[in-house]
Amino acid sequence: TQLLEQSPQFLSIQEGENLTVYCNSSSVFSSLQWYRQEPGEGPVLLVTVVTGGEVKKLKRLTFQFGDARKDSSLHITAAQTGDTGLYLCAGGSKVQGGKLIFGQGTELSVKP
Amino acid sequence: NAGVMQNPRHLVRRRGQEARLRCSPMKGHSHVYWYRQLPEEGLKFMVYLQKENIIDESGMPKERFSAEFPKEGPSILRIQQVVRGDSAAYFCASSGTSDPSTDTQYFGPGTRLTVL
């Protein structure tokens, strides 16, 4: 069974700071998806990366897929209070069929 | 709204009752996935369905749980004789292509099941 280790589990920072969330595995994934989840809601897709070494930017968020497609990172520049939430990485692979394997999540709190 | 729809959003059942959770995939999507999120735990895969077919049910408990995605109508996740441990948020996701290993899954808002 493939596993995704997400770190850190909790992160509390001041507005304006930068942060990075990591998602690591010993297995290769065909795709890596990042979601953000608000309390009481479902995960909302931020980005999907499928190519090793791929970098995608979404405003102040930068997503990277490792060259070997075993790890990924999410970097937020100049965090804002509106970035507060639960960030989830999820990997898909042919070995796992259609199921996504989720990391444990990173609970981000950005204080004013 | 062309997103994934789930209903009800909240469901309260007493131990021993049945729970039926419904999911309408995004328009044009024919792949449906159910996940469960227990308190303080991450999202865990339960079952993957296409129209009239169960593709992978490896994450679903062997007893009391069943799922279907009929030719017409929404996908249904059915839990018989619920127990307190079934209390969780149940999410449905859908995707549209024939390569689910790379296709993006879009999630619904979830059904929060509480078993008294």
What pLDDT digit, counting tens, does each position of A18-77 carry? 999 999 999 999 999 999 999 999 999 999 999 999 999 999 999 999 999 999 999 999
- Closest residue, chain B, to A87 (C-alpha): B42
Reported in sequence order, the residue ranges of chain B that DSSP labels E, i.e. its strands, are 5-7, 10-13, 19-24, 31-37, 43-50, 53-56, 65-68, 75-79, 88-95, 106-107, 111-115
Q: 3-state DSSP call for residue A107?
A: strand
Predicted confidence at residue B103, as pLDDT, reads 82
What gap in Å lies between CA A69 and CA B68, rounded to an integer?
33
Q: How many CB pairs under 8 A join A and B?
A: 75
- Closest chain A C-alpha to B67 CA, distance in angstroms: 15
The mean-pLDDT minimum among B33-42, B45-54, B76-85 falls in: B33-42
CB atoms within 10 A of CB B49: 26
Residues in chain A within 8 Å Cβ distance of B31: 98
Predicted confidence at residue B98, as pLDDT, reads 67
Mutation pick from B38, B43, B98 vs chain A, by most beta carbons of A within 10 Å, is B43
Whether A106 and chain B come into contact, CB under 8 Å, resolves to no
Residue type, B88: A
Place of tokens 């709204």: B1
